Amino acid sequence: MKGLTKELKKRKVIDSPEALKEITLVFLDLKPAQKVNKQFRGKNYATDVLSFESMDHLSLGELIVCPEVLKRQAKEHKLTYQKELGYMVLHGVLHLLGYDHELGPKEAKEMFDLQDSVFEILLRRIS
């Protein structure tokens, strides 16, 4: 965890490990995931991960993931389901921390660069 914490501190994502908070993960099938995506984003399809901030100061927020979408993406990306899930949970956490790739190319590059470098650190830890 030291390498991950160091990377997050270097990029000013967190000040200390104590800044990390609880996150709730919710797994939904295609139809319920599609309904939530339509309700909150106006997009009528199931997506891989949705991020919702929390009103509770002890919680960073909630991530809703759709395993069926992640399984399809894992095949497309030539990753295991577990690695795809990890990559997308990381993606959702970055959204909860305030990163947003949909704001423009600069923001997208910043978010995806951070996501990729943190994911590489995590992969090294499990290999």
DSSP annotation of 27 reads E
pLDDT tens, 53-69?
988 878 888 999 999 99
Nearest to 91 by CA among 72, 65, 67: 65
Q: What are phi and psi of 94, to 5 degrees?
A: -60, -40
Amino acid occupying residue 127: S
Instruction: Considering only the C-alpha atoms of the chain, give the largest distance between any 2 of them, rounded to a whole number of Å.
Output: 40
Per-residue confidence (pLDDT) for residue 13, from 0 to 100: 56
Which domains are assigned to the chain?
A: 2-126 (3.40.390.30)
Burial of 69 from C-beta contacts in 10 A (0-12 / 13-18 / 19+): buried
1 pLDDT band (50/70/90 cuts)?
Answer: very low
- pTM for this prediction: 0.82
pLDDT tens, 68-99?
999 999 999 999 999 999 999 999 999 988 89
The HSE-up count of residue 56 (CA atoms within 13 Å, CB side) is 10
Give Rg (Cα) of the chain: 15
DSSP annotation of 103 reads G
